[in-house]
Structure 1
């Protein structure tokens, strides 16, 4: 049986030894500005779609289906959507 050894956490001394950032003084805190004051143009989150064409849903898929689509890499959700759209068009046409 393999024994596990508890890992000790980092101490303040460890952090100081590898830190390039000096400790902040009261003066530093007094001069500090809020993020949105420094970067006012930055948006929070993704924001609304220009032309929402899809609806967000929760869907349970079998592991085989998920593995098949994920095996081709990123974009697997779009590939599932494309496959389902194809099925709908064939049934309608």
Structure 2
């Protein structure tokens, strides 16, 4: 099988007029129900060659989702600092954890 070409880095742009000129009917509910994800219908090598959907790279140490109860004034104080308050709260907790590991005196 020949190698699969990479997608063009600068794909063409389409105007509303271009889309209006398309003469193809919309899919029916039955046709939509028959559609399958690409990974189910494409050969593995073709699917693997598709461009990534983007997003961040996977972290080697992903953060863990936890649920905890905090005093309202603590949450309000951090929220009052604006967007990114959770990241700032994490930084404060990380510093406290470092201190706890080194000092062992709380």
With the shorter chain as reference, the TM-score category is: 0.3 to 0.5
Normalised to the residue count of structure 2, the TM-score between the two structures is 0.43
The structure, 1 or 2, with the larger RCO (C-alpha pairs under 8 Å, 6+ apart) is: 2
